Amino acid sequence: MGIFLNQAGYTVNAPKIAVTTTPCNFQIIRTVDQISVFDGITTDGGFDASSGEQTYHIDFSALTIPGSYYILSGDKQKSPTFTIGNEVYRSLQKDLMKAFYYQRCGCALTEEYAGEYTHPACHTAPSVFLEDYINKTPNPASFDMTGGWHDAGDYGRYSTAASVALAHLLYAYELFPESFQDSLNIPESGNHLPDILNECLYELKWLLKMQAEDGGVYHKLTSFSHADFIMPQDDHSQFLIYPVSSMAVADFAAIMALASRVYKPFEPEFSETALQAARKSWKWLLNNPYIGFHNPEGSNTGEYDDTCDLDERMWASAEMLRTDFGFDNTYLEKLTEYVLSDINKTDFGWTDVSGLTLLCTLFDAKHSAGEKIENALKAALFTDADKLCSLIDAGGYRLGMEPEDYVWGSNMVVCNRSMLLILASLLSDADHASAYKNAALEHLHYLLGKNALGISYVTGHGDNAYKNPHNRPTFADGIELPMPGWVSGGPFKTPCDPKAIELIPKGTAPMKCFVDEVESYSTNEITIYWNSPAVFMTAFFNLNP
C-alpha cells in the first residue's frame, strides 16, 4: 500500500496528514523507544486524478510532542521516519541554498568549503561571439565572461534563468532576513554580508558582464553543444556569447534594480553600478521591440525561448519604479499599461515572470505604484490563491496541481504555487493567513515525500530521497551520493528522454511519471530556478512554524 508523508518532518502545530491507498488502522511509533504515542483510523481522502488512485488520509495533527517517529499500519507496514519540531526545515534551507555554491563556475571548489565535492577552476578561457565562431572569423575578439553559476545539469549560463533564480533568493532575503543568519561555509562567510547575499553577488557580477554597451543583454553564454558527462574542469569547449533577446534585457533590468535596492546598505558602490546598468537596459527596452531567441542549426544547449516579453517588461517596470522612483516617469506609465492589460499576474517561472511584478509592487512600503495598480494585483493574487486552495481540498494528496500541470520541471510549479500562497498569507488577516499558510505548506510536504511515489525530491533529505540527478558533476565525480539540497525537476506527464520513455509505461498517471536515473533529463534534472523558490518556501516556514 505505501504510506506517503513529509520525510523531513512537521512543525509542532502544523496540520499533519499522511496519505495511503488502503484504509487501515494506524499507530504513530516513537523511534527512540518503539512506543506507540498515537493511534487512529484512516479517513476517506477521495480519488486523486493526478495519481490515478483512491486515497485515504492518516491525520495525526493532534500529535505535537517533538521527536522522531514513524507510522505503522494495521498490517505492519512502516512509513519512512519523520521528525516533529519547530526547526525541522532549518538544515533543509541551508542545503537548498548551499547548492548554489556547488554550481559556481570559474573558481576552484576547495575541500574547506565543498567537502568531498571539490574540483579545480573551470571554464576560465575567454569567450567569443557566436557569429565569429560560426563564421570562423580569424583572431576574433574575446572577452572575460568568467563567473556565475552553472545553470543546471549542464555547464551553460543563461541570463533569463539567472535573473529569475536571483529574484526568488533576493526576495526571500528581503522578506525573511531573519531566516538567513546561519553560515553557509562559503569563502565569503564571516564578512559584512549575509551568506545568501554573498552567494547571489557571485552570480550578479557575472550577469553584469552579459550587458552590451547599448544596454542590450546577451541571451546566454554556452558552448555550441552540451558537454559530455565530464567534470567541469575537463570541459574545454569554446564558450560563446549568444545574441541579445528582449526577454534577457527586461529580466536584467528588473534584477539589477532589485539588487540595487537590496545591496545598498551593504555594498553602496555595487548598488550604484547595478542601478546604472538597470537604467541603461530600461532605455534599450523603450527603444526596441520584442526580440526572441532560437538556437542556430546544430546548437543544442538550452534555448529558453519565449514568444512574449510583455511579462518581463512588466516586471522590469515594477522594479525600476520601486527602486528608482522619480527618476523616469515611463516606469509608472509602462507598469500601468501592462498591469491593466490581460497579462497573467501570478507566475514565478522563467517563461512567465509576471508574479514577480505582484511581489515587487504589493510589498513596496512606499506604495509607488498607487492604489489602482495594487488593487488589480491583489485581485489576481487572491483569485488564484483561492483556486489553489480549492484544488488542495479536492485532491487526495492535498496539492494545488491538476493532471495537466505536471509539465517538464513540475516541481518548479509546485514551489512557485507555494510562493503564491505564502504571499496571500502575508497579505491576509489572521484567519485567512493561517489557511493560506497551511495550503502553501502542503506543497512542501509533497516535495519531501507526500506524493504517489513516496520520493523526497530533495537530495539528502528523507529516507527515500532521490539519488541520481541529471547533473554532470554528480555523474562524473565518482562519489556515491550527490550533493545535498538539490531539487529534482520531478514528474513530467509526457516524458521525452529515452531513459524515461523506456522505464515509464504508457498511460502512467502524471504524478508517477518520474524515474530516478541520471539519464532522465526530462524528469530528473536540477536547475538553479527550481532550488530558488524552495529556498523562499523554507525561509518562510522557518520563521512561521
Strands 240-241, 127-129: pairing is: parallel
Helix and strand numbers (H, E) in the chain are 17, 14
Helices 159-175 and 246-263: crossing angle, nearest 10°?
A: 30
Q: How far apart are CA 326 and CA 319, in angstroms?
A: 13
Is 154 among the residues known to form the active site? yes
Q: Give the total residue count for the chain.
A: 545
- Residues 9, 90 contacting (CB under 8 angstroms): no
- Residues 266, 196 contacting (CB under 8 angstroms): no
Q: How far apart are CA 86 and CA 104, in angstroms?
A: 32
Is 516 among the residues known to form the active site? yes
In the 8-state DSSP scheme, what is residue 27? E
Q: How far apart are CA 287 and CA 246, in angstroms?
A: 11
The residue annotated as part of the active site, out of 150, 226, 443, 470, is: 470
Is 470 among the residues known to form the active site? yes
CB crowding 18-30: b at 16 or more within 10 Å, else e: bbbbeebebbbbb
For the residues of 169-225, what is the DSSP string, one character each? Answer: HHHHHHH-GGGG-S----TTTTSSS-HHHHHHHHHHHHHHTTB-TTS-BBSEEE-SS
CB crowding 406-444: b at 16 or more within 10 Å, else e: bbbbbbbbbbbbbbbbbbbbbbbeeebbebbbbbbbbbb
* 502: Cβ contacts below 8 Å, ≥ 6 apart: none
Strands 35-41, 25-30: pairing is: antiparallel
Is 178 among the residues known to form the active site? no
* 366 burial type by CB count under 10 A (0-12 exposed, 13-18 middle, 19+ buried): exposed
Q: Residue 185: which region, alpha, beta or left (left: phi > 0; alpha: psi -120 to 50)?
A: left
C-alpha cell at 454: 513516496
Q: How far apart are CA 144 and CA 126, in angstroms?
A: 5
CA 254 to chain centre: 18
The residue annotated as part of the active site, out of 154, 203, 324, 497, is: 154
The residue annotated as part of the active site, out of 95, 319, 352, 525, is: 525
Q: How far apart are CA 163 and CA 309, in angstroms?
A: 14
The residue annotated as part of the active site, out of 95, 442, 516, 517, is: 516
Q: Which position has the grid cell 553577488? A: 201
C-alpha cell at 128: 567569443
Closest of 197, 170, 169 to residue 183, by C-alpha = 197
Provide the annotated active-site residues: 154, 470, 516, 525
